[in-house]
Structure 1
Amino acid sequence: MNKTILMTAAALALGLAAHPAAQAADKPVYGVLLKTLSNPFWGAMAKGVAEGGRQSDVTIFQQAAQSDQDAATQLNLCTTMLERKPAALIAAAINSSNLLPCMKSANDANIPVVDLDANLDPAITAKAGVKVAFRIGSDNIHAGMQAADFMAQQLGHDATGPVLVIEGLSGNVTGQMRANGFRQELAKAAPGLKVVASLPGDWDANKAANITNDILQRNPNLVAIFACNDTMALGAVESVFAAGRGGKVTVVGVDGTVDGVKSIKAGRLTATVAQLPYLEGMEAVANVKKVLAGQSVPDVIHVPTLVLTKDVLAAGTDPDLQYVK
């Protein structure tokens, strides 16, 4: 395998062995900085990046912070990564501003910067004078809309009742887009379903579980929950079942993680909007190679999403299922 993985005390082990040939001097090195590997979404992304490196015959130097809230550590990892003078910097920023100093340094060194998973706010990036070669990720607004459309189909377009939205980390553009897309589409698809609370769960299962417990006590007739990632959705599911409402509350997440898929197959999580991080990682590396070769790539590259349900998984006919890792 043509990849090199270095680990520091601040980086989580990827658990992948690097082939000696990965360090061949004639191969370009792509620096890849993820949020964390404690979340299955980013674990799948890491594997996709590694596969992209193999297919493109490049060396991958990949690191991640231990937590998707540890912005300071991620910046330190980014700064250290630039010392290796990578051919490109592919980064999934924890928020819209923490990596901007490092990205500006990359620009100054003529190192192309890629916004992995489209975590940067374009206005903030432009104000900081940071140039991004391209942004790649799912259309997060569309993912939220897909969740709302599924919920309306599941409950009925004329359904009524309270709905809970569990957002991501406060100020994170990804979670904001998913939540906004969901709320806007739900108002059109099923206007009788009313969002009674929309609260940040910080991508954390325990926080999502606590939020769900609180809202269930205030709204015992809660009919649905939309969580902006699978980790929070699974926390919400546990609270729903603990309250004796299992199967009575529709719970939809986003990501399509291994744990999310297992929960759907077990009849607990209702659905998830799969983001296909494995495919995204592969495509990020492939398009960086085009940039470095002087080829034109779109400013924004959207990776497809699909709604996973128990029936969709059982049928196994959707071609994008091959990328659900």
Structure 2
Amino acid sequence: MKKVLVVLLTVAMTLSMFASCSTPEKPSESAAPASSTPAASSEVSSALAAPVADGEVTLPTKGIGTQISTEVKAKEKYTIACIVKNSTNPYMVGCLNGVEKAAADMGFEAIVMAPSTNDSVEEQVKIMEDLIQKGVDGFVLVPVDTNGIMPGVRKAMEKNIPVATIGTPAAVDTFLRTGVDYTETGRVIGKAVAEKIGGKGEVIILEGPPGAQNAQERLAGIKEAMSAFPDIKIVASQTANFKRTEGMQVAENLLQKYKTVNAIIGCNDEMAIGAVQAIKAAGLEGKVVVAGFDGNQDGSSAIKDGSLYISYNTDPFGSSYLAATYIAQFLNDGTMPQKYFTPFPSEKDNPLITGENVDDYRSNIAWWNEVK
């Protein structure tokens, strides 16, 4: 798969790129998908996916990671845009690649974008507004901020344009929220770490951005798991903003204060790798268990060499592919997701990556692998 270079474009270039993605044969009324595509009873602004009883949701896809596929085909040349937080975090690039693969498989046009200023929610909103004006048919969105993204989300919903969020949701229920259940991921990793250190000891947590709902959910899950082990003490829990450099700096400072720590949980692989670097610099290699989330390429390599104990495959590639599939279904015939929040992948998909299965993960599943 070609590398996603378009994510480096500025907002000013969005319009010209969109024009180049448009197809002359697309009916003129498709520029307003709200009124022309699905029946009124399925309008996303007034009939959000209703909760369903506990049980399996039937996904329109099969597999996870680069094995994901679908039988859904776009009935028209829809344009679906994927807008992420930045073009530097591997997770974000995985989301963009997933939508591009979905476009190739289903036959719609994909626009993949990131703010030219990393993590600028204002620029995300501007990109959305520009694309709405040009008649985009759907959005797969990784919002920088739950509340900050709302001006763009409201305008999309007014036009009945489906918005699927991944990770951080919007402040209101949109067409769909997918990606992992962050609370579940925290519980699973927290329990695994607690068991690895024998149910006792000191733990440091490197948190995500304090204003991000997904970061808060993951932190809550970790703390919930740890609460089942009365002999474990969380000695420090501090943000490092999902960034490797900050993870290293925060871990260095905390390791100077807490010299007998048994484990560090980074709430993503980037922070966890930063913690690994800090541990090595402090001469504590092999003495501190480190865990992360995402299963990214560097994290997987760290598991392979033993410096990272465990990670959770959050599969941004599969998540964005799934989101695009749901949007294509809706544009085809008004089909709504069975639930507003459809977690993917979940614990049943065996998401933990350890030294025992990392080779299989890297060879056959990893979302960062080049799609053949």
Q: TM-score, normalised by structure 1?
A: 0.86
The alpha-carbon deviation at position 6 of structure 1 amounts to 5.0
Aligned to 2:277: 238
Aligned to 2:353: 308
Structure 1's unaligned 5+ residue stretches are: 126-130
Q: Distance in 1 between matches of 2:281 and 2:90?
A: 24
Once the two structures are superposed, the pairs formed by residues 158-237 of structure 1 within 5 Å of their partners are 159=200, 161-188=201-228, 190-237=229-276
Q: Which has the higher strand share?
A: 1
Answer yes or no: is the 8 Å Cα contact 1:97–1:120 preserved in 2: no
Answer yes or no: is the 8 Å Cα contact 1:106–1:113 preserved in 2: yes
Structure 2 SS opposite 1:143: helix
Q: Distance in 2 between matches of 1:154 and 1:5?
A: 41
User: Residue 294 of structure 1 is aligned with which of 329, 334, 338?
Assistant: 334
The alpha-carbon deviation at position 81 of structure 1 amounts to 2.2
1:216-274: CA deviations, max 9, x gaps?
A: 11110010011111111111110011101111111101111111111111221111111
> Which one-letter code corresponds to 1:62 in the other structure?
V
Answer yes or no: is the 8 Å Cα contact 2:8–2:87 preserved in 1: no
Moved more, 33-42 or 291-300: 291-300
Structure 1 SS opposite 2:174: coil
Moved more, 196-205 or 298-307: 298-307
Moved more, 293-302 or 255-264: 293-302
Aligned to 1:256: 295
The alpha-carbon deviation at position 321 of structure 1 amounts to 2.8
Specify whether residues 241 and 6 from structure 1 end up closer, same or farther in structure 2 by C-alpha distance, changes over 3 A only.
closer
Answer yes or no: is the 8 Å Cα contact 2:9–2:113 preserved in 1: no
The alpha-carbon deviation at position 175 of structure 1 amounts to 0.8
Q: Distance in 1 between matches of 2:23 and 2:182?
A: 36
Structure 2 SS opposite 1:81: helix
Specify whether residues 6 and 236 from structure 1 end up closer, same or farther in structure 2 by C-alpha distance, changes over 3 A only.
closer
The alpha-carbon deviation at position 24 of structure 1 amounts to 5.9
Once the two structures are superposed, the pairs formed by residues 29-178 of structure 1 within 5 Å of their partners are 29-66=79-116, 68-117=118-167, 119-120=168-169, 124-125=171-172, 132-157=174-199, 159=200, 161-178=201-218
Identical-pair percentage: 22
1:122-181: CA deviations, max 9, x gaps?
A: xx32xxxxx511111101001001111111221123x2x211011111111111111110
Structure 2's unaligned 5+ residue stretches are: 27-76
The alpha-carbon deviation at position 22 of structure 1 amounts to 7.7
Specify whether residues 204 and 260 from structure 1 end up closer, same or farther in structure 2 by C-alpha distance, changes over 3 A only.
same
> Which one-letter code corresponds to 1:10 in the other structure?
T
Structure 1 SS opposite 2:114: strand
Aligned to 2:61: none
Q: Distance in 1 between matches of 2:210 and 2:190?
A: 21
Q: Distance in 1 between matches of 2:217 and 2:8?
A: 33
Q: Distance in 2 between matches of 1:206 and 1:182?
A: 22
Specify whether residues 68 and 166 from structure 1 end up closer, same or farther in structure 2 by C-alpha distance, changes over 3 A only.
farther
Answer yes or no: is the 8 Å Cα contact 2:273–2:308 preserved in 1: yes
The alpha-carbon deviation at position 318 of structure 1 amounts to 11
Cα RMSD for the two superposed structures:
2.6
Answer yes or no: is the 8 Å Cα contact 1:28–1:87 preserved in 2: yes
Q: Distance in 1 between matches of 2:362 and 2:195?
A: 20
Specify whether residues 162 and 67 from structure 1 end up closer, same or farther in structure 2 by C-alpha distance, changes over 3 A only.
farther
Specify whether residues 98 and 289 from structure 1 end up closer, same or farther in structure 2 by C-alpha distance, changes over 3 A only.
same
Answer yes or no: is the 8 Å Cα contact 1:237–1:268 preserved in 2: yes
Structure 2 SS opposite 1:203: coil
Size of the aligned set, in residue pairs, is 306
Answer yes or no: is the 8 Å Cα contact 2:85–2:114 preserved in 1: yes
User: Residue 365 of structure 2 is aligned with which of 315, 321, 325?
Assistant: 321
- Give the number of the structure with larger relative contact order, counting CA–CA contacts within 8 Å between residues 6 or more apart: 2
Answer yes or no: is the 8 Å Cα contact 1:44–1:278 preserved in 2: yes
Moved more, 206-215 or 165-174: 206-215
